[in-house]
Structure 1
Amino acid sequence: MVVVWLCLAVLWGSASGQELKEDLFADATAAFRIAREADAERLSPRIYRNAMEAYQDAENDYDRGGNLDRVRSSLAEAGQLFREAARTAGLADQALASLIETRSDAEKASAPRYSAELWREAEKKFRAAAIELERGDRTLATRRAGEAEAVYRDAELNAIKESYLRDTRTLLRQADKLRVERYAPNTLAKAEALLAEAEKALNENRYDTDRPRGLAQEAQYEARHAIFLASYLREKEDEDWTVEDVILDWEKPLERLAATLDVRAELDQGYTAPTDRLVADIEDLRSAQQGLEQDVDEARRRIAGLEDEIRDLDARLGGASEERRELVQRLAEQARVREQFEQIEIMFTRGEAQVFRQASDVYIRLAGLSFAVGRATIDPDNSTLLTKLERAIRVFPEAELVIEGHTDSYGGDAENFELSQRRAEAVRQYLLANVRLDPARISSVGFGETRPVANNETAEGRARNRRIDVRIQPRR
Structure 2
Amino acid sequence: MKTFTKNKLLIVSILVSMFYTSNLFSQDAKSIIFNDAKKAYQYAIDKRAEILSPSNFNNGLKYYEKANSAYESGNNLADIKEYLKEAFNYFQKSTKEIDVVEVLFSETLNARDDALDAEADTYEKELWEDAQNEFKDATQKYEQGNSDKAKEKGKKAYDLYRKAELAAIKSNLFNHARQLIAKAEDMKAEKYAPKTLAKAKKSLKDGQAALETERFDTDKPRMLAKNAEYEASHAIYLVNYIKKIDDKDKEIEDLILRGESYLTQIGDVTGISFKFDEGSSVVAEKISANVILLKDSIFKLSHKLNNCETTISNQIKQIAAMGSMQKEQIADASIKQQMLKDQIAYEEKVAKKFDEVFNMFDMNEANVFRQGNDIILRMTGFNFDIGSAEVKPENYPLLAKVQKAINIFSESKIVIQGHTDSRGGDSLNLTLSQKRADAVKAYLMANMPDYNQSNIASVGYGESKPIENNETKYGRSKNRRIDVVIKVKRVLDTANATRTNQ
Change (3 A) 1:231 1:265: same
* Ranges in structure 1 where 5+ consecutive residues have no aligned partner: 1-156
Which residue in the other structure is 1:106 paired with? none
| 2:417 aligned to which of 392, 401, 404 | 404
**Residue 254 of structure 1 aligns with which residue?**
263
1:77-116: CA deviation from partner (whole Å, max 9, x where unpaired): xxxxxxxxxxxxxxxxxxxxxxxxxxxxxxxxxxxxxxxx
Aligned mates of 1:170, 1:159 — CA distance in 2: 17
CA distance in 1, matches of 2:341, 2:334: 11
What is the correspondence of 1:104-183 to structure 2 with a 5 Å cutoff? 164-176=173-185, 178-180=187-189, 183=192
TM-score (norm. length: structure 1):
0.58
User: 2:330 is paired with a residue of what secondary structure?
Assistant: coil
**Displacement after TM superposition at 1:172 (Å):** 4.0
The SS at the match of 2:389 is coil
1:450 partnered with 2:459: no
The alpha carbon displacement at 1:432 in A equals 1.0
> The residue matched to 1:404 in structure 2 has which SS?
strand
Residues of 2 paired with 1:282 and 1:371: CA distance?
27
Cα distance in 1 for partners of 2:329, 2:276 equals 69
CA 1:391–1:292: 2 relative to 1, 3 Å: closer
State the partner residue of 1:471: 485
- Contact kept, 8 Å, 1:356 with 1:362, in 2: the verdict is yes
What's the C-alpha RMSD, in Å, of the aligned pairs? 3.4
Range 245-254 or range 305-314, more displaced: 305-314
Percentage identity across paired residues of the two chains = 37
5 Å matches for 1:150-299? Answer: 164-176=173-185, 178-180=187-189, 183-206=192-215, 208-269=217-278, 270=280, 271-299=283-311
Task: Tell me, yes or no, if the aligned pair for 2:307 and 2:351 is still in contact at 8 Å.
Answer: no
Shift of 1:345: 1.5
**Counterpart amino acid of 1:223?**
A
Distance (Å, rounded) in 1 between the aligned partners of 2:312 and 2:393:
43
Higher relative contact order (CA 8 A, sep 6+): 2
Cα pair 1:298 1:359 within 8 Å, conserved: no
- What amino acid is the match of 2:200? A
Larger mean CA deviation between 413-422 and 230-239 belongs to 413-422
Q: Check if 1:439 corresponds to 2:453.
A: yes
Would you say the 8 A contact 2:216–2:425 is kept in 1? no
Relative to structure 2, which stretch is displaced further, 158-167 or 344-353? Answer: 158-167
Relative distance call for 1:351 and 1:187 in structure 2 (3 A) is farther
Partner of 1:370: 383
Measured in 2, the distance between the counterparts of 1:317 and 1:256 equals 66
- Cα deviation, residue 338, structure 1: 1.7
Question: How many Å apart are 1:285 and its aligned residue?
Answer: 4.9
Gaps of 5+ in 2: 1-165, 492-502
Deviation at 1:357, TM superposition (A): 0.7
Superimposed CA distance per residue, residues 17-71 of structure 1 (whole angstroms, 9 cap, x where no aligned partner): xxxxxxxxxxxxxxxxxxxxxxxxxxxxxxxxxxxxxxxxxxxxxxxxxxxxxxx
Greater mean deviation of Cα atoms: 243-252 or 394-403: 243-252
Contact 1:406/1:420 (<8 A) preserved: yes
Matched residues in 2 for 1:272 and 1:210: separation?
31
Q: Alignment partner of 1:367: what SS?
A: coil
Cα displacement (A) at 1:423: 2.3
Within 2, Cα distance between the matches of 1:283 and 1:186? Answer: 35
Runs of 4+ in 1 over 6 A off after TM superposition: 157-162, 319-323
* 316 and 253 in structure 1: CA distance in 2 versus 1, 3 angstrom threshold: farther
Distance 1:375 1:285 in 2: 33
CA distance in 2, matches of 1:367, 1:188: 36
Distance 1:345 1:328 in 2: 25
- Residue identity opposite 2:375 in structure 1: V
One-letter amino acid of the structure 2 residue matched with residue 464 of structure 1: K
Q: Secondary structure at the match of 1:334?
A: helix
CA distance in 2, matches of 1:164, 1:328: 57
Query: What is the Cα deviation at residue 354 of structure 1?
Result: 0.5
Q: Distance in 2 between matches of 1:165 and 1:348?
A: 44
Separation (CA, whole Å) in 1 of partners of 2:188 and 2:438: 54
- How far has the Cα of 1:283 moved from its partner? 1.2
CA distance in 2, matches of 1:188, 1:244: 26
**297 and 395 in structure 1: CA distance in 2 versus 1, 3 angstrom threshold:** same
How far apart, in 1, do the equivalents of 2:194 and 2:398 lie? 42
What is the TM-score with the length of structure 2 in the denominator? 0.55
